[in-house]
């Protein structure tokens, strides 16, 4: 089969290895991107409301983990989920914060997305992807409604259980024993 025959018109999905080569070559410039089911998603600029909530929550999580003596770390970075999906959640609770490349999915205990403008995507497509890839627990911090959507019990069709916690009330992880943080700083 010739190259011309293999490259017929249509939409082509990238693999993680293609995406990494493009990123390393500078194809995306300084833009923040993630690979979702073969598509490169250019992320919106991060404004203060989003950054503040992410930073406060990451600090609270890290502090709580340290006080518990946990081997988990509140990190930021891309998570390698499959050969065509490598999202960049706002906060990743992982046992492997160091090393080269993306954070391995097997080390992830909880993912957090902070949503100021992306709520539909975070509770829709991303929730579906994270559940399908067996992420034990997922939080969406809705800075506009001032709540955290907490989900656990992943399956092929989504998360089996969920609850909503208002800012100001403590939130307790369902999958990490002893992890509770205050949300009044958000």
> Residue 7: its pLDDT value, please?
62
The answer to whether the CB of 108 falls within 8 A of the CB of 130 is no
Largest CA distance in the chain: 62
pLDDT tens per residue across span 65-102? 999 999 999 999 999 999 999 999 999 999 999 999 99
For residue 163, what are the domain limits? 45-181
- Specify the 3-state DSSP secondary structure of 94: strand
Percent of the chain with pLDDT over 70: 96
The pLDDT score that the predictor gives to residue 98 is 93
pLDDT tens for residues 104-121? 999 999 999 999 999 999
CATH number, domain of 140, equals 3.90.1570.10
pLDDT at 1 over 90: no
d(CA 107, CA 91): 13
Query: Does the structure show a pLDDT above 90 at 4?
Result: no
pLDDT for position 160:
97
CA distance 113 to 19: 22
Q: Is residue 74 part of a domain?
A: yes
Say whether both 169 and 111 belong to one domain: yes
Q: Does residue 186 lie within any of the structural domains?
A: no
Q: Tally Cβ neighbours within 10 Å of residue 122.
A: 23
Q: Is the dihedral of CA 57, 80, 26, 4 positive or negative?
A: negative
**97, 11: one domain:** no
- Do 114 and 133 share a domain, yes or no? yes
Q: Do the Cβ atoms of 15 and 23 come closer than 8 Å?
A: no
β-pair partners for 165 = 148
**Is residue 166 one of the residues assigned to a domain?**
yes
**Domain check: are 126 and 166 in the same one?**
yes
Task: For 126-165, write each residue's pLDDT tens digit.
Answer: 999 999 999 999 999 999 999 999 999 999 999 999 999 9
In a domain, 128, yes or no: yes
Q: Is residue 54 located within the same domain as residue 74? A: yes
> How many domains is the chain built from?
2
Contact 55, 47 (CB under 8 A): no
Check whether 5 has a pLDDT greater than 80. Answer: no
Residues making up the chain, counted from first to last: 186
Are residues 23 and 82 located together in one domain of the fold? no
Q: Which of 25-29, 41-45, 56-60 has the highest mean pLDDT?
A: 56-60
What pLDDT does 45 receive? 86
């Amino acid at each position: 089969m010739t190259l011309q025959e293999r490259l017929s018109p249509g939409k082509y999905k990238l693999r993680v290895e293609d995406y990494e080569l493009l990123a390393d070559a500078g194809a995306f410039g300084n833009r923040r991107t993630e690979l979702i089911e073969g598509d490169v998603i250019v992320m919106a600029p991060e404004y203060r409301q989003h950054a503040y909530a992410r930073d406060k929550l990451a600090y609270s999580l890290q502090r709580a983990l340290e006080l518990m003596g946990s081997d988990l770390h509140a990190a930021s970075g891309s998570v390698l989920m499959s050969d065509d999906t490598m999202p960049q959640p706002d906060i990743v609770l992982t046992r492997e914060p160091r090393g080269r490349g993306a954070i391995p999915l097997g080390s992830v205990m909880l993912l957090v997305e902070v949503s100021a403008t992306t709520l539909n995507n975070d509770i829709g497509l991303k929730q579906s992807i994270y559940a399908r890839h067996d992420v034990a627990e997922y939080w969406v911090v809705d800075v506009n409604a001032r709540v955290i959507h907490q989900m656990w019990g992943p399956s092929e069709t989504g998360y089996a259980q969920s609850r909503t916690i208002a800012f100001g009330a403590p939130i307790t992880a369902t999958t990490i024993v002893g992890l509770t943080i205050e949300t009044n700083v958000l």
